[in-house]
Each structure stands twice: as structure tokens, then as C-alpha cells.
Amino acid sequence: MSRDTDRKGRRSQGPCQAPRPRFVQRCLIRSAWMVFFLAASVAGGYCANVITDDMGRKITVKAPFARIISLYAGHTENLFSLGLDSEIIGVPPSETYPEKALAKPVFSYHDDLEKFLGARPDLVLIRPMIDRGYARLLAGLEKNGITVVSLQPGNIDEIYRYWRTLGALTGKEAESDRLVDGFKASLEAVRKSVREISPRKKVYFEAIHDRMKTFSPDSMAIFSVETAGGINLAKDAEPVRDTNIAAYGKERILSHAAEMDVFLAQSGPMNHVTIDLIRSEPGFSAIRAVQNQQIYLIDEVLVSRPTVRLLEGIRTIAKILYPELSLKDR
């Protein structure tokens, strides 16, 4: 019996012969998924081991970075969320969370280049605002072989890509996938909890009191309000210089006086405000939320920082808006 026939006399397929239809179908399906995966990677700003940061730098990650200085507290918090600790060798002066971060050496973009070189980092994580203001320091770091990566997501989809980028930089891809998946599941649980609520509370969310500024409609803060079941009254707010802050003004705030159920304000370094200050603002006595004592403050790190604690901010807002609400965990 020849090598080209089987035991029943049927001719077998050689390696160059046409494959069977079922095999072709499987190959096409696998190929389609591979193309989809590669396209998704490119759309997310990175492909395989190449990452593009928010300022256009292309970084080839040959191995996970293991000596990292973070110059933004949000970066630090996310690195810890991915399971890193000893790899983090420097944090910014504003660091407050998690507690383990407080024991790390402090670095600032105001420091001399020599301080950074003495610490021997292989990666310095920054934000675009540092890129724009401290180009000389960053050029010195890069000249000495230190990788600089500038990241700052502005909306929820960018947050997911940002977490995965941090995972790719640090060899924590699986952990970043779990972070994204867990966060999405928790968000869906909140959405289910508020889905049947009617009528919805109408909210004005203050960003900076003394300038009468709110948040842009696509910001994390407004995403938090809307996910919590609130209606953003400042849908016509326009962002200032590509930030998540939007100019609004007292006149437009007061135009919503009769329909405003809740006056919400972030509280922290960006907005040093109190409930009494809001209540006593000239003209605000006409606002229904002020009249009904529905003024609330929320820590700005829970609504403006791209970390998993954004979920805590969403749940806090949901309980402010609907005190009797029973929130589902998952």
C-alpha cells in the first residue's frame, strides 16, 4: 500500500493538498480572532511589547521595569493595585494612599537631576503637565538611559487602556486584566441597583468654587454621577484647555436653580470649600438644593483620580442621591 493511501484504500492528504472545509473554517475563525486582538492592541495605544504614551513616545518593553519612580499619586496607587511594592522606589510629595506608599522615598519634578540618577530608576512615570513644564529634567533623564512614560487618562475607556498599559510596563498584564474585569463587573452591579429608580435626581457638580467651574461632560466625575443614577445639569459645559474642568459661571448655575435636586462639590487641594461657603454664596439661596439642605462634599480623589477607588466614589454618590438604595456588590 502506498504512503499516499490509507488502510481502506483512500488517498490521504499530503501537506500541500487542500485542507478539508471544517479545517478551513477553524483556521479562518482563529485568524479572525488574531486580527481582532492585534487591532484592539493598536487601538489601545500599544501593540505587543511596544507602548505609546500620551505625549507620543514609543517605548519598547524588553523586560518588566523593576525600579520605578512615580511622580503622580494616581500612578502610585495603581501600581500597588497591580501587586507591585519593592519595584516602587520613589513617590511624589502628595502621596497619601495606600499606607505603604508613605514609607517610600519622596521625589518631585522640582528636584535636581542628580537626585534621580542617584536612585538608579529604570522608569519614571509622569503626567503630560510635567512634560510641558519640566522638559529639561525629562531630557536629562532620557539622556542618561532612564525611560520616561507620560500617562493621564481622561475618561473611562482611557482608564481601562491606562491600567493595561501599566500592566504591560511592569509585567502585570494578567493582574491588569483582572483589575479591568473586576471594575467593570462592579460598575454593572451599581447600574443594576439604580436602573429602576424614577425620577432621577438632577445634580450640579462643582469642581472649583471660587471660579464657578464644573466638570466636562465626559470627565470621570460626571461619569461617576451618571453611573450612580444622577442627571448632570451642566451638559453644556465646555472643558478648559483639554482638561476635565469646565468653565460654567454663576449665571448658568442659577439658571438651574429651580430644578437642582443636589449640589455636589469635590473637596480637596483643587477645591477648598465648605458647605457653609456654598450655602452663603450670594444668589445661591435661590437654588432648590440649597434651600432643601441638599449640599454634599466628596473627596476629590474618589471622583477625579483614575484608580479603582473611583468605584467608591460612585457608590458614595449613589447613597447621597438615594439614601434608601440597596447597592449590589456584583
pLDDT digits (tens, 9 = 90+) for 299-328: 999 999 999 999 999 999 999 999 999 887
pLDDT tens sequence across 70-114:
999 999 999 999 999 999 999 999 899 999 999 999 999 999 999
CB neighbour burial string for 276-298, b if at least 16 within 10 angstroms, e if fewer: eebeebeebeebbbbeeebbbbb
Reference 53, options 75, 36, 34; nearest CA is 75
150-180 tens-digit pLDDT = 999 989 999 999 999 999 999 999 999 999 9
Ordered by where they begin, the domains of the chain are: 47-171 (3.40.50.1980), 198-321 (3.40.50.1980)
pLDDT of residue 45: 45
In the predicted structure, residue 135 carries a pLDDT above the cut 90: yes
pLDDT band at 243; cut points 50, 70, 90: confident
pLDDT at 241: 79
pLDDT value for 329 = 66
Confidence of residue 240 (pLDDT cuts 50, 70, 90): confident
**What proportion of the chain, given as a percentage, has pLDDT over 90?**
80
Q: How far is CA 260 from the centre of its chain?
A: 28
The values of phi and psi at residue 220, to 5°, are -65, -35
Q: What pLDDT, on the 0 to 100 scale, is given for residue 186? A: 96
pLDDT of residue 94: 87
Q: Between the CA of residue 196 and those of 192, 200, 211, what are the distances in Å? A: 8, 10, 36
φ/ψ region of 146 (left if φ > 0, alpha if ψ in -120 to 50, else beta) reads beta
- Asked if the model's pLDDT at residue 232 lies above 80, the reply is yes
Residue 258's pLDDT is what? Answer: 98
**Which amino acid does the sequence have at 276?**
D
Beta bridge partners, 297, equal 265
Q: Which pTM does this prediction carry?
A: 0.82
